[in-house]
Amino acid sequence: MKVACIDFEGVLVPEIWISLAERTGIEDLKVTTRDIPDYDELMGHRLGIMNKHDLSFKQLLDAASQLDPLPGAADFLDWLRSEFQVAIISDTFHELARPLVAKLGKPVILCHRLEIDGDGRIAGYHMRQPDPKRHAVKAFQSLNYQVVATGDSYNDISMLDQADAGMFFCPSEKVTRDYPNIPVARDYAELKTMFANALG
């Protein structure tokens, strides 16, 4: 049996924080894991900007809720679920992912939690565990599953390395330059072919 472990933002849905940046006009919120590989550093950057501009969790949630899956994502995910057991492994947060997951037929998603204070501000966040994407793949492998994985950025590298087969989906030029040995799919047709070939 094979399990597909796939990233969420940038693979199935647009980047939520970029959506907030576009809604608020705050350019610094467009920074993602493609720019700052260390996730704690990135979240510190994001929460600092939200505090500076007095942005609430509801504003971030509204930015997420207004998004739709990337064109072709739902069809790709439907195909994937017909051939694999599928788990979305993401560094997003359950509170933000919920409206988008619903638009994709409520697949399994393993991600983190936000801490919201009484004033509706984001007080902090709780990571599921250190290096969560690699650990998720290892857990499936410990159950004798073969794992095929895809992601788009630096925070996916450990997942792709741990998987039995791993590939990028539409990464930035900087990411592909830094990791030239990881195969790249530039659209869902290519990604489907790579996953199909991984079925052996």
* Amino acid in position 103: K
- Active-site residue among 9, 91, 95, 156? 9
Residue 113's alpha-carbon distances to 10, 51, 98, 116, in angstroms, are: 19, 18, 12, 10
- Active-site residue among 7, 15, 95, 152? 7
List the one residue out of 162, 128, 135, 158 whose CA is nearest residue 148.
162
Dihedral over Cα of 96, 98, 104, 110: its sign = positive
List the one residue out of 92, 95, 141 whose CA is nearest residue 115.
95
* Amino acid in position 130: P
- Look up 41 and say whether it is catalytic: no
- Look up 9 and say whether it is catalytic: yes
Query: Catalytic residues, which ones?
Result: 7, 9
